[in-house]
Amino acid sequence: MTATPEDPIDPGPDEVAPPGLSYLATIDVDVDAPITIGSTVDGLRKVVPIRGGRVSGPGLSGDVLDAGADFQQYPTDTVAHLAADYVLRTDDGHHVLVENRALRTGSSSDLSKLMSGEHVDPGRIYFRCVPRLSADRSGPYAWMSDVLFIGSGVRSPNGVRIDIFQVL
DSSP character string of 9-35: ----TTSPPPP-EEEEEEEEEEE---E
| pLDDT at residue 100 greater than cutoff 60 | yes
pLDDT tier at 11, thresholds 50, 70, 90: low
Q: Which residue has the higher pLDDT, 3 or 167?
A: 167
What is the structure's pLDDT at 56? 98
Specify the amino acid at residue 39.
Answer: S
Thinking of the domain 21-167, which architecture would CATH place it in? Beta Barrel (2.40)
Specify the amino acid at residue 41.
Answer: V
Domain ranges of the chain: 21-167
Neighbour tally for 156: CB within 10 Å: 16
Q: Which residue has the higher pLDDT, 8 or 123?
A: 123
- The pTM of the full predicted model, rounded to 2 decimals, is 0.88
pLDDT tier at 6, thresholds 50, 70, 90: low
Mean of pLDDT values over 55-64: 98
Q: Is 138 helix (H, G, I), strand (E, B) or coil?
A: coil
- 61 phi and psi angles, rounded to 5 deg: -150, 145
6-15, 54-63, 150-159 — which one is most confidently predicted on average?
54-63
Tens-digit pLDDT profile for residues 104-114: 999 999 988 98
What is the structure's pLDDT at 23? 98
Which stretches of 76-146 are DSSP H helices? 108-115
What is the structure's pLDDT at 29? 98
